[in-house]
Amino acid sequence: METALLIISIMLILIVLLQSGKAESAAQIFSGSTSDLFSNRKERGSELFVSRLTMVLGLLFFVICFVSMFVE
């Protein structure tokens, strides 16, 4: 169980680092720029895959932590 948690956590860290910077426009709040800060941008292709993989790995991490809390 601990090995799976370690592997999933490392994969989650790597996938989060691979994601594109969606928060780049959040810095515009402090700089005062009002360009398309809240514009809707759809993810396509590899961005969509990485986003979904991040969600799945995060859920797996949560479930394994939750289950291991009751097992031990």
Domain count, the chain: 1
Spatial CA neighbour of 52 closest among 40, 63, 60: 60
pTM over 0.85: no
59 lies in a domain? yes
6 lies in a domain? yes
At residue 21, the pLDDT reads: 66
38 lies in a domain? no
Domain housing 68: 1-12+43-72
47 lies in a domain? yes
At residue 59, the pLDDT reads: 96
Run means of pLDDT, 10 residues per run, the chain, 72 residues: 92 89 58 57 81 94 93 78
Nearest-angstrom CA–CA distance, 51 and 43 = 8
26 lies in a domain? no
At residue 39, the pLDDT reads: 59
DSSP assignment letter at 42: -
27 lies in a domain? no
